[in-house]
Amino acid sequence: MNKTLFLSRLQRERDQFEGLLNRVGFSRRLTMKGVSGQLTAKDLLADVLLHEQFIADRLSEILEGETYAPSSSFTALENFQIHYGYPDFESPLHEKDNPNLFALEPYKNIEFDEIVAQELAVYSNILDAFEKMTHHQCLDHDLFHRIAEHTYRPYRRVISAIQRWLKKIASEPK
């Protein structure tokens, strides 16, 4: 894959994600529980933000010549989250398929619009950092895969959860 194709794919996925969030936001259902377990659409957006912040920080480290190593012990995993405020998503010890409720807790009292603003800024940081990467850096650090894992794959999970939830609440008797 090359950077141009990857950015095109990322933007298509991003457009679908933003379109669905706009639809849910327009209907004022962002803070209704039950989208995924007891989580709201706002909680799921905060989870996307955490994933994007994780990869934005790793991209910054690559540009600065720093090396990231996934946490290999539970103590290191806990210390990573305490230090960064989000889980070490690439650690083999991290539970991959469920949002980390502890990491989402700080976002409970933040307005949806503020989470959106933070998420947009982090997404922009990802794009800016990725643009600065050479093709060899992308290959050496498996960035096409890693960025996808922390951007459009979470978008897809959120889209799927919200669409299931919207169908469910549409079919419930009024």
Domain boundaries, given as residue ranges, for the chain: 3-168
Gyration radius of the chain over CA positions: 17
pTM recorded for the entire structure: 0.92
The H-or-E segment that residue 145 falls in is helix 143-150
List, for residues 97-142, the tens digit of each pLDDT value.
778 888 999 999 998 889 989 999 999 999 999 999 999 999 999 9
Burial class of residue 90, CB neighbours in 10 A (0-12, 13-18, 19+):
middle
pLDDT reported for residue 34? 81
DSSP letter for each residue of 70-127: ---SHHHHHHHHHHHSS--TTSTTS--SS--HHHHGGGTTS-HHHHHHHHHHHHHHHH
The CATH number of 3-168, from 1.10.3720.10, 3.90.1170.50, 3.60.150.10, 1.20.120.450, is 1.20.120.450
pLDDT reported for residue 99? 85
pLDDT reported for residue 36? 83
pLDDT reported for residue 174? 63
User: Minimal CA–CA distance to 86: which of 74, 69, 100, 66?
Assistant: 100
pLDDT reported for residue 156? 94
pLDDT reported for residue 10? 96
Residues of the chain with pLDDT under 70: 25-29, 174
The H-or-E segment that residue 58 falls in is helix 41-63
pLDDT reported for residue 153? 95
